[in-house]
Each structure stands twice: as C-alpha cells, then as structure tokens.
C-alpha cells in the first residue's frame, strides 16, 4: 500500500487506530476452542467487528509462531481474510526481525510475498545492510524500532552516544538508508515526552505507537507531540480491544472499545 492511500483512509475514517492481533488461546472466549481453528475464528470476528473503526491490523507474530505450524496456518488464513475482504486495511507484521543482507531478504519475502503484509517491524541493531533488504520492496514499509514501550528501553536505547542518544542515532542513520522514504518507526506511547525531539529528526514519517491503554500511555500526549499535518501516527491497541470481554459478546464489546478509541482520535484530528 502506498503511504498516500493510508493517509486517505485515516482522513476518511477519522481514525488512526491499529488493532493488535495478539491472539492468545488462553484468553479467547471458551466457546471458540471447539472450532477447528479458534485463533482464526477469533481474529475474523474481531476484524469484522472493528474494521469500520480502524485503519490497520498488526498481528504479533510471536503469538502465532508459539503454536508452530497450526499457528502459521491461522496467521496465513487471517492475512488472506484481511486482504480479500478489507484490502484497504494497512497490515503490519509485528515480527521485529533483522539479520545480515541475504537473510533479511528471506524475511522480507516471508512477510511481504508469502504472507502479503504491507509492512514489518525491524530491529535496528545490525545496521544498514540488515534494514535495506526490506526497504527494497516497492509499496511495502519497514517499521524500525526506535524507542520501545517496555521498561528495558532504558537499558540501551536512551544511552548517550556522543552528544546524542542511541534511539536518536538510530533515527538519524536510518534517514540515509536507501529508500528511506519507506521507513516508519516504533515509538512507545509510554515515551510520549520524547516525541517532540523525535519529530525534529523525522518530521513527517509515520510512527507506530504501541502502549496506549494496557501499558499506560496517553493518546492525548502522543498526539500533542507526535501528530503531523497528515496525522503521521498509527496508535495500536491490542489487549484493551481483544479481551474487553471473554464471553460470547466479545466481538461487540471489542467494537465498542474500538469506537471509543476512534472517537478520541477524531477529537485529536479535529485540532489539526
């Protein structure tokens, strides 16, 4: 998907909500467990219920990989369902991959070609030749970890590097990568106070912001410091939507939660 199409969807729906599909067999409603593919059935119901209110879906790949081959089948079916029924949705493989050149190309093929994702999250530690193989794919997007939402983010990401800090160095060096216009960045909502500085380095790039809700970040703060004229944000919610109910009404409760967030987003967009 081209960035222009993503922006146009955001403006049309007045939403920059990304629904994280962290689908966990231990948390989904019990009645689904007798289905042949409970993970897919859960995802399908969540997608049908929330798609009018969000612009992106982000399967967390670990949750599928943990179940082995059946998990990969559920992921493939989820992606086929999304791409067939809601091709206007931006899809994110939250995979945090990254390796030397020829290996990164393999990961890129896995997610962009085999599974038909629009984008993938990538760890920056191995540098340019670990990221550029992903950037080589046209109309695909590479979402580089900059400042993550977890406590361990302070272990390395905020360490001083010269006059700067590691996460800023990641942002800076990445802007020189080939096809850097296909980059987006992960910035945790719990680090909203850093967004103003981040915007001085990457003023227009899309930021994928996890950590609203369950992890404690504030939407209002994220928007105040991070929003651009084209919004430039995808704010993710996973558990707060998926597991708002674990009864038979889970999809309609998820829809209500998505609407609540979408209305808050609309309010923020009206300030633009």
Contacting residues toward a copy of itself, per CB under 8 A:
22, 60, 62-63, 65-69, 71-73, 76, 94, 96-101, 103-104, 106-107, 109-110, 114-115, 123-131, 145, 148-157, 159-162, 166, 169-170, 173
Computed on alpha carbons and rounded to an integer, the radius of gyration of the chain in Å comes to 18
Minimum distance of a copy of itself from residue 152's CB (angstroms) = 3
Indicate the residue among 131 and 227 with the shorter CB distance to a copy of itself. 131
Angle made by CA atoms 76, 82, 88, in degrees to the nearest 5: 140
Residues 6+ apart with CB under 8 A from 242: 19, 20, 21, 22, 23, 27, 42, 46, 254
User: For residues 51 and 157, which CB has a smaller minimum distance to a copy of itself in the complex?
Assistant: 157
> Is 257 labeled as catalytic in the residue annotation?
no
Q: How far is CA 6 from CA 22, 76, 159, 178, in A?
A: 22, 22, 34, 22
Least distance (Å) between residue 86 CB and a copy of itself: 21
Residue with the two structure tokens 């399908």? 44
Q: Which is nearer to a copy of itself, 152 or 200 (CB)?
A: 152
CB 21 within 8 A of CB 78: yes
Catalytic one among 96, 178, 191, 255?
96
Dihedral sign computed on CA atoms, order 173, 178, 126, 150: positive
Nearer to a copy of itself, 84 or 229 (CB): 84
What positions carry a catalytic annotation? Answer: 96
């Amino acid at each position: 998907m081209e960035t222009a199409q993503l922006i146009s969807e955001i403006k049309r729906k007045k939403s920059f909500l990304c629904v994280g599909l962290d689908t966990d067999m231990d948390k989904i409603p019990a009645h689904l467990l007798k289905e042949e593919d409970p993970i897919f059935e859960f995802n399908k119901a969540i997608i049908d219920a929330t798609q009018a209110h969000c612009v992106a879906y982000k399967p967390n790949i670990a949750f599928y990989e943990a179940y082995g081959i059946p998990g990969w089948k559920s992921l493939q079916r989820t992606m086929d369902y999304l791409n067939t029924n809601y091709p206007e949705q931006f899809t994110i493989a939250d995979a945090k991959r990254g390796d030397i050149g020829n290996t990164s190309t393999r990961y890129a093929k896995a997610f962009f070609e085999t599974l038909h994702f629009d984008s993938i999250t990538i760890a920056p530690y191995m540098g340019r030749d670990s990221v550029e193989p992903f950037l080589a794919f046209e109309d695909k997007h590479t979402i580089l970890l900059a400042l993550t939402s977890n406590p361990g983010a302070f272990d390395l990401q905020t360490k001083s590097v010269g006059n700067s800090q590691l996460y800023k160095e990641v942002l800076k060096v990445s802007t020189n990568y080939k096809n850097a216009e296909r980059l987006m960045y992960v910035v945790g909502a719990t680090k909203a106070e850093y967004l103003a500085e981040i915007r001085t380095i990457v003023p227009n790039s899309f930021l994928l912001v996890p950590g609203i809700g369950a992890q404690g970040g504030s939407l209002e703060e994220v928007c105040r410091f991070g929003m651009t004229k084209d919004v430039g944000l995808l704010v993710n919610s996973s558990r707060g939507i998926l597991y708002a109910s674990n009864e038979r009404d889970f999809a309609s409760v998820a829809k209500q939660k998505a609407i609540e967030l979408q209305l808050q987003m609309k309010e923020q967009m009206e300030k633009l």
